[in-house]
A and B are shown apart, each in its own frame.
Chain A
Amino acid sequence: MTRVADALATALATAKDAGADDVEVSYTGGETGFTRFARSRFTQVGAVTTDVLRVRALVGKRLGAQQCGSLDADQVAAVARGAVDTARGAPELDVDLGFGTAEAQTPGEAATPAVPEAYNAANAPSTLMRAFDVAREQDTHCAGALKIFRRTRAVRTLHGLVCDGADAWLDLQIIAADGDASGFAGRTCRFADALDADELARAAADKATRGRGAVRIEAEPIDVVLAPAAVAELVEWTSMASFGAQSVLDGQSLLAGRAGEALCDPRISIVERGGEGELEFDAEGMPRQAVAFFDAGKAGQPVTDLLTAARLGDDRGSTGHAAAIDDAFSHSPGASHLHVAAGDRTEAELIADIGRGLYVTRLHYVNGMLDPRRAVTTGMTRDGTFLIENGAVGGGVRNLRFTDSMLECWGPRLGGLGNQLRNVPTWWTPAGLVTCPAMLIRKFKFTGQSR
Chain B
Amino acid sequence: MTAYADIAQSALDAIAGAEGLDYADARVVADKRDSLVLRNHAVERIQRSTSAGVGIRVLIHGAWGFAAEPEATPAAAERAARRAVDIARGVAAAGGERVRLAEEEPQRGSYETPVDIDPFEVPTDRRVADLTAALDVLRGDGDDRIQSIAANMRWDRTRTVLATTEGTRTDQTITFGGAGISISTRDGETNAHRSYPFDFEGGLASVGYEQIDRLALVDHAALIRDEALALLTAPDCPAGRTTLILDTPQLALQIHESCGHPTECDRALGDEVSLAGASFLTPDKLGRFRYGSTKVNLTADSVTPGGLGTFGWDDEGVPARRTPLVARGTFVGYLSSRETAEALSLGRSAGCMRAESWSRPPIIRMINVSLEPDPDGPPSLEALIADTDDGILMTTNRSWSIDDLRLNFQFSCEAGWEIKRGKITRLVRNPLYTGSTPQFWGGCDAICNEDAWQIWGLASCGKGDPVQAMAVAHGCAPARFRDVEVGCSR
**Contact in complex: A79, B50 (CB < 8 Å):** yes
**Contact in complex: B48, A66 (CB < 8 Å):** yes
**Contact in complex: B401, A380 (CB < 8 Å):** yes
Contacts of A390 in B (CB 8 A): none
A36 to B266, CA, bound (A): 13
In the complex, whether A250 has a CB less than 8 A from a CB of chain B is yes
A21 to B219, CA, bound (A): 39
Query: A221: shortest Cβ distance to chain B, in Å?
Result: 16
Contacts of B68 in A (CB 8 A): 46-50
In the complex, whether B97 has a CB less than 8 A from a CB of chain A is yes
Q: For chain A, residues 90 to 140, give those with C-beta under 8 angstroms from any C-beta of chain B.
A: 90-91, 93-95, 121-126, 128-129
Contacts of A124 in B (CB 8 A): 90
Q: For chain B, residues 64 to 84, give those with C-beta under 8 angstroms from any C-beta of chain A.
A: 64-71, 83-84
A48 to B410, CA, bound (A): 36
User: Residue A94 contacts which of B41, B271, B412 (CB distance < 8 angstroms)?
Assistant: B41
In the complex, whether A448 has a CB less than 8 A from a CB of chain B is yes
Contacts of A278 in B (CB 8 A): none
Known A48-B360, A69-B70, A378-B399; judge A121-B90 contact (CB<8 A). Answer: yes
Query: B29: shortest Cβ distance to chain A, in Å?
Result: 10
**Contact in complex: B93, A126 (CB < 8 Å):** yes
**Contact in complex: A448, B193 (CB < 8 Å):** no
**Contact in complex: B404, A250 (CB < 8 Å):** no
Contacts of B361 in A (CB 8 A): 44, 46
Q: For chain A, residues 62 to 102, give those with C-beta under 8 angstroms from any C-beta of chain B.
A: 63-70, 72, 75, 79, 82, 86, 89-91, 93-95
Known A79-B50, A251-B184, A252-B191; judge A379-B148 contact (CB<8 A). Answer: no
**Contact in complex: A370, B412 (CB < 8 Å):** yes
In the complex, whether A32 has a CB less than 8 A from a CB of chain B is yes
In the complex, whether B216 has a CB less than 8 A from a CB of chain A is no
Contacts of B71 in A (CB 8 A): 70, 72
A446 to B83, CA, bound (A): 48
Of the candidate stretches A6-14, A287-295, A359-367, the one touching chain B is: A359-367
Q: Mark B403-446, 1 if CB is under 8 A from A, else 0.
A: 11101101010000000000000000010101000000000000
**Contact in complex: B408, A401 (CB < 8 Å):** yes
Query: CB-nearest residue of chain A relative to B124?
Result: A89
A437 to B86, CA, bound (A): 40
**Contact in complex: B399, A367 (CB < 8 Å):** yes
User: Residue B399 contacts which of A89, A328, A369 (CB distance < 8 angstroms)?
Assistant: A369
Known A401-B403, A403-B410; judge A90-B46 contact (CB<8 A). Answer: yes
Q: For chain B, residues 252 to 286, give those with C-beta under 8 angstroms from any C-beta of chain A.
A: 266, 269-275, 277, 280
In the complex, whether B466 has a CB less than 8 A from a CB of chain A is yes
In the complex, whether A38 has a CB less than 8 A from a CB of chain B is yes
**Contact in complex: A50, B40 (CB < 8 Å):** no
A399 to B361, CA, bound (A): 32
In the complex, whether B460 has a CB less than 8 A from a CB of chain A is yes
Query: CB-nearest residue of chain B relative to A149?
Result: B466
Query: CB-nearest residue of chain B relative to A374?
Result: B490
Query: B297: shortest Cβ distance to chain A, in Å?
Result: 25
A34 to B87, CA, bound (A): 11
User: Residue A448 contacts which of B274, B404, B408, B467 (CB distance < 8 angstroms)?
Assistant: B408
Known A251-B147, A252-B191, A450-B408; judge A41-B97 contact (CB<8 A). Answer: yes
User: Residue A66 contacts which of B49, B405, B460 (CB distance < 8 angstroms)?
Assistant: B49
Q: For chain B, residues 26 to 46, give those with C-beta under 8 angstroms from any C-beta of chain A.
A: 35, 37-46
Query: CB-nearest residue of chain B relative to A79?
Result: B50
Q: Mark A312-331, 1 if CB is under 8 A from B, else 0.
A: 00000000000000001101
In the complex, whether B2 has a CB less than 8 A from a CB of chain A is no
In the complex, whether A376 has a CB less than 8 A from a CB of chain B is yes
**Contact in complex: B191, A143 (CB < 8 Å):** no
Contacts of B277 in A (CB 8 A): 364-365, 382
Known A70-B70, A373-B189; judge A175-B43 contact (CB<8 A). Answer: no
**Contact in complex: B408, A449 (CB < 8 Å):** yes
User: Residue B90 contacts which of A38, A122, A250, A401 (CB distance < 8 angstroms)?
Assistant: A122
Known A50-B70, A126-B93, A329-B460; judge A68-B184 contact (CB<8 A). Answer: no
Contacts of A69 in B (CB 8 A): 50-53, 70
In the complex, whether B95 has a CB less than 8 A from a CB of chain A is yes
**Contact in complex: A38, B87 (CB < 8 Å):** no
**Contact in complex: A376, B489 (CB < 8 Å):** yes
Known A49-B70, A69-B52, A252-B193; judge A331-B408 contact (CB<8 A). Answer: no
In the complex, whether A371 has a CB less than 8 A from a CB of chain B is yes
**Contact in complex: A329, B408 (CB < 8 Å):** no
Contacts of B111 in A (CB 8 A): none
Contacts of A348 in B (CB 8 A): none
A185 to B86, CA, bound (A): 29
User: Residue A365 contacts which of B45, B191, B269, B402 (CB distance < 8 angstroms)?
Assistant: B402
Contacts of B148 in A (CB 8 A): 249-252
**Contact in complex: B42, A94 (CB < 8 Å):** yes
Contacts of A39 in B (CB 8 A): 269-271
Contacts of B191 in A (CB 8 A): 251-252, 371-373
**Contact in complex: B466, A328 (CB < 8 Å):** no
Classify the secondary structure of A's interface with B.
Answer: strand
Residue among B97, B356, B402 having the largest count of chain A Cβ atoms under 10 Å: B402
Contacts of B49 in A (CB 8 A): 54, 66-68
Query: CB-nearest residue of chain A relative to B49?
Result: A67
Query: CB-nearest residue of chain A relative to B97?
Result: A41
In the complex, whether A51 has a CB less than 8 A from a CB of chain B is yes
A188 to B275, CA, bound (A): 16
**Contact in complex: B274, A144 (CB < 8 Å):** yes
A124 to B451, CA, bound (A): 55
A370 to B414, CA, bound (A): 10
In the complex, whether A45 has a CB less than 8 A from a CB of chain B is yes
Contacts of A374 in B (CB 8 A): 490
Q: Mark A23-38, 1 if CB is under 8 A from B, else 0.
A: 0000001001010111
**Contact in complex: B274, A143 (CB < 8 Å):** yes
Q: For chain B, residues 97 to 156, give those with C-beta under 8 angstroms from any C-beta of chain A.
A: 97, 123-125, 128, 132, 147-148
Known A124-B90, A373-B189, A450-B408; judge A43-B70 contact (CB<8 A). Answer: no
Query: A255: shortest Cβ distance to chain B, in Å?
Result: 13
Query: CB-nearest residue of chain B relative to A362?
Result: B404
**Contact in complex: A177, B50 (CB < 8 Å):** no
**Contact in complex: B67, A328 (CB < 8 Å):** no
**Contact in complex: B45, A38 (CB < 8 Å):** no
A311 to B37, CA, bound (A): 15
In the complex, whether B359 has a CB less than 8 A from a CB of chain A is yes
Known A34-B465, A39-B271; judge A86-B51 contact (CB<8 A). Answer: no
Query: CB-nearest residue of chain B relative to A95?
Result: B42
**Contact in complex: A125, B490 (CB < 8 Å):** no
User: Residue A125 contacts which of B94, B97, B356 (CB distance < 8 angstroms)?
Assistant: B94
A244 to B178, CA, bound (A): 26
A351 to B273, CA, bound (A): 28
In the complex, whether B482 has a CB less than 8 A from a CB of chain A is no
A-B pairs, 10 with minimum CB distance: A69-B51, A46-B66, A251-B147, A89-B124, A125-B94, A94-B42, A65-B47, A143-B274, A67-B49, A250-B148
Q: Can you spell out 16 A-B residue pairs with CB atoms less than 8 angstroms apart?
A: A46-B66, A47-B83, A50-B68, A82-B48, A94-B42, A143-B270, A143-B271, A147-B466, A177-B270, A252-B147, A328-B356, A331-B35, A331-B37, A369-B412, A382-B403, A448-B408
Apart from the given pairs A91-B42, A126-B93, A250-B147, 11 other A-B contacts in the complex at a CB distance below 8 Å:
A42-B96, A47-B66, A49-B68, A65-B47, A89-B125, A129-B94, A250-B148, A252-B191, A371-B489, A450-B404, A451-B408
**Hey, which bits of chain A sit against chain B, CB under 8 A?**
29, 32, 34, 36-52, 54, 63-70, 72, 75, 79, 82, 86, 89-91, 93-95, 121-126, 128-129, 143-145, 147, 173-175, 177, 182, 249-252, 307, 311, 328-329, 331, 364-374, 376, 378-380, 382, 399, 401, 403, 427-428, 447-451
